[in-house]
């Protein structure tokens, strides 16, 4: 989704990728919040882009980064987590993520919270230096 920042005329791309399908679902993600009637209500047909204030674009970039990160974390939950536990943990994440979009300021803040939640289920989460995520049973 191409957005022109009103104050600078800078063009930025917003996108959020589903880790399983590789699809960019930014239009659905933004649309489900009603932002096409608020932050992205103005569209430039000639330049084929939305026009938005810098503060709104920056806010959306932060929210998208966290939500995309959450998708990759959830996608990494295969073995050794049981199906039942993965469903429970995914539900915890979904409950939080369906509330305030900016509940977590950064992917790192989400990781801290998520690691604490996993500990309640006797699991550990390790983020490796290459960015991959490992899960284990305590």
pLDDT of residue 78: 57
pLDDT of residue 132: 72
Residues 6+ apart with CB under 8 A from 48: 2
Encode pLDDT of 45-95 as tens digits.
999 999 999 999 999 998 898 888 887 777 776 555 667 777 777 777 776
Burial class of residue 127 (count of CB atoms within 10 Å of its CB; 0-12, 13-18, 19+): middle
Is 32 strand, coil or helix?
coil
pLDDT of residue 81: 64
pTM listed for this prediction: 0.74
φ/ψ (deg, to 5) at 38: -125, -95
pLDDT of residue 18: 86
Higher per-residue pLDDT: 97 or 87: 87
């Amino acid at each position: 989704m191409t957005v022109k920042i009103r104050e600078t005329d800078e063009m930025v791309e917003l996108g959020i990728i589903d880790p399983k399908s590789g699809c960019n679902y930014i239009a659905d993600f933004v649309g489900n919040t009603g932002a096409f009637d608020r932050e992205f209500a103005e569209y430039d047909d000639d330049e084929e882009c939305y026009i938005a204030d810098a503060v709104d674009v920056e806010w959306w970039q932060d929210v998208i980064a966290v939500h995309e990160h959450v998708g990759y974390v959830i996608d990494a939950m295969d073995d050794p987590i049981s199906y039942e536990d993965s469903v429970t943990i995914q539900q915890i994440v979904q409950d939080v993520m369906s509330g305030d979009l900016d509940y977590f300021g950064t992917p790192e803040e989400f990781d801290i919270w998520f690691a604490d939640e996993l500990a309640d289920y006797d699991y550990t989460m390790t983020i490796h230096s290459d960015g991959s995520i490992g899960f284990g049973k305590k």
